[in-house]
């Protein structure tokens, strides 16, 4: 008799294949769910594999548009970067996948979900916090935290690890090595509205994209071709360990640079300062797996509000691992050429600056000679 139904976040790889089989051994009916979020994968053969291993049903779903529109674009608005460097690619994908996972579980009346994330990482947290947020009674089976499982499969893990890491040059899948990148830059124009890209144009080629997924794929392609967005960092996991991470985020890096530029061009200085703090907080929450939390909802709302005037076009060139901003224009710009010009005063009276500076220095004057008293 079945212990119940588990929906497993299936990757098609050895790890989650082992888990699928083990879950069946334990007496569960297993539904495999494989999300397409843009990874390089043979989905048909993954489906067959899951079926052959005994999955009762297999769901393979293309979440790419939803991933770009509902997760990546808000992160672009936020200039989301964790610990000054990490652009949060995986961290954004996890709640997208987990949301669908629990939707399937609810539809299929499964009490359980399972995943292949390890017991020391961030992904287990991201999967499970999303699951608890959206399906509060769900029960989670995390085999890499269950001694019977991990003691048995540790050996295989060693093997897999070894196999995966033997060739560090193969670590990067999307980006070329910058020294193999073309000697001629690509020049792009990215148009934003409400802080999100609405059109990407290759200036020389004259071609353009205007659907979120297409734009993002195109930026990944161009960024990848020029070796943009590779980092090798040590980061602080939510559970308090430091770990090394090697990431590539070609399209995200281009979008971050372009968005930072148009945002500073069009957003009031003090709003920007407050929003910068909210963006840092948002990035920590996303990293830690709190996408579906009340505070993340609140920040998403506030950040989106801040983007109302973030509109215009940024021209940039992509070359040898770098993104160079060439210029920007906007109907909502707060940049006032006349005001800033050294030769026109506009409405601005330079004499005012004297008072401004002196008042800013008022605090500096200490009284030295006397005890002060107020009663």
Q: Return the residues of window 193-222 that contact a second copy according to CB under 8 A.
A: none
Give yes or no for residue 331 binding a second copy (CB under 8 A): yes
Q: Give the Cα separation of 3 and 141 in Å (integer).
A: 12
Task: Identify which range of 22-30, 32-40, 93-101, 126-134 contacts a second copy by CB under 8 A.
Answer: 126-134
Interface with a second copy includes 367 (CB under 8 A)? yes
Binding a second copy (rule: CB under 8 A), the pick from 21, 140, 187, 217 is 140
**Residues in binding contact with a second copy, number by CB under 8 A:** 120
Q: Which of 30, 169, 23 minimizes the C-alpha distance to 105?
A: 30
What number of residues does the chain have? 375
Of 24, 56, 157, 225, the residue at the interface with a second copy (CB under 8 A) is: 157
Q: Contacts with a second copy in 5-24 (CB under 8 A)?
A: none
Query: Buried (b) or exposed (e) across 66-75, using 16+ Cβ within 10 A?
Result: bbbebbbbbb
Q: Mask 59-98, x = binds a second copy (CB under 8 A)?
A: --------------------x---xxx-------------
d(CA 310, CA 333): 9
Q: Which long-range contacts (C-beta less than 8 Å, at least 24 apart) are formed by 52-56?
A: 53/17, 53/20, 53/21, 53/24, 54/20, 54/21, 54/24, 54/30, 55/8, 55/10, 55/20, 55/30, 55/31, 56/5, 56/29, 56/30, 56/31
Should residue 52 be labelled a site residue for a second copy when binding is judged by CB under 8 A? Answer: no
Q: Does the protein bind a second copy through residue 36 (CB under 8 A)? A: no
**Residue from the set 167, 268, 291, 310 that interacts with a second copy by CB under 8 A:** 268
Question: H-helix or E-strand containing 251?
Answer: helix 250-266
Nearer to a second copy, 29 or 261 (CB): 261
- Which listed range, 21-29, 35-43, 197-205, 300-308, lies at the site for a second copy (CB under 8 A)? 300-308
């Amino acid at each position: 008799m079945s212990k119940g139904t588990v929906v497993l976040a299936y990757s098609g790889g050895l790890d989650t294949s082992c888990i699928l089989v083990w879950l069946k051994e334990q007496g569960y009916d297993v539904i495999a769910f494989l999300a397409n979020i843009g990874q390089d994968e043979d989905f048909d053969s993954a489906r067959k594999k899951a079926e052959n291993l005994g999955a009762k049903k297999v769901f393979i779903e293309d979440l790419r548009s939803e991933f770009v529109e509902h997760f990546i674009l808000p992160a672009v608005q936020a200039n989301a970067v964790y610990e000054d460097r990490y652009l949060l690619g995986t961290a954004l994908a996890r709640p997208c996948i987990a949301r669908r996972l629990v939707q399937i579980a609810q539809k299929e009346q499964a009490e359980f979900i399972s995943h292949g994330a390890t017991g020391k990482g961030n992904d287990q947290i991201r999967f499970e916090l999303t699951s608890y947020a959206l399906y509060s009674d769900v029960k989670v089976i995390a085999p890499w935290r269950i001694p019977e499982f991990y003691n048995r499969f540790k050996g295989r893990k060693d093997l897999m690890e070894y196999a995966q890491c033997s060739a560090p040059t193969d670590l990067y899948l999307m980006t070329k090595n910058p020294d193999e990148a073309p000697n001629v830059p690509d020049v792009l124009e990215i148009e934003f509205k409400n802080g999100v890209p609405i059109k990407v144009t290759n200036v020389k080629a004259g071609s353009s994209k205007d659907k979120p997924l297409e734009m993002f794929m195109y930026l990944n392609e161009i960024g990848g071709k020029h070796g943009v967005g590779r980092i090798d960092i040590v980061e602080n996991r939510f559970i308090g360990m430091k770990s090394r991470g090697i990431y590539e985020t070609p399209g995200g890096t281009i979008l971050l640079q372009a968005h930072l530029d148009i945002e500073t061009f069009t957003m009031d200085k003090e709003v920007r300062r407050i929003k910068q703090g909210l963006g840092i907080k948002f990035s920590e929450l996303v990293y830690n797996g709190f996408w579906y939390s009340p505070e993340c909802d609140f920040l998403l709302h506030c950040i989106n509000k801040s983007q109302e005037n973030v509109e215009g076009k940024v021209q940039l060139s992509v070359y040898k691992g770098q993104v160079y901003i060439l210029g920007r224009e906007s109907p909502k710009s707060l940049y006032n050429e006349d005001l800033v010009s050294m030769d026109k005063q506009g409405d601005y009276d330079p004499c005012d600056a004297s008072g401004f500076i002196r008042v800013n220095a008022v605090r500096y004057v200490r009284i030295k000679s006397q005890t002060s008293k107020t009663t």
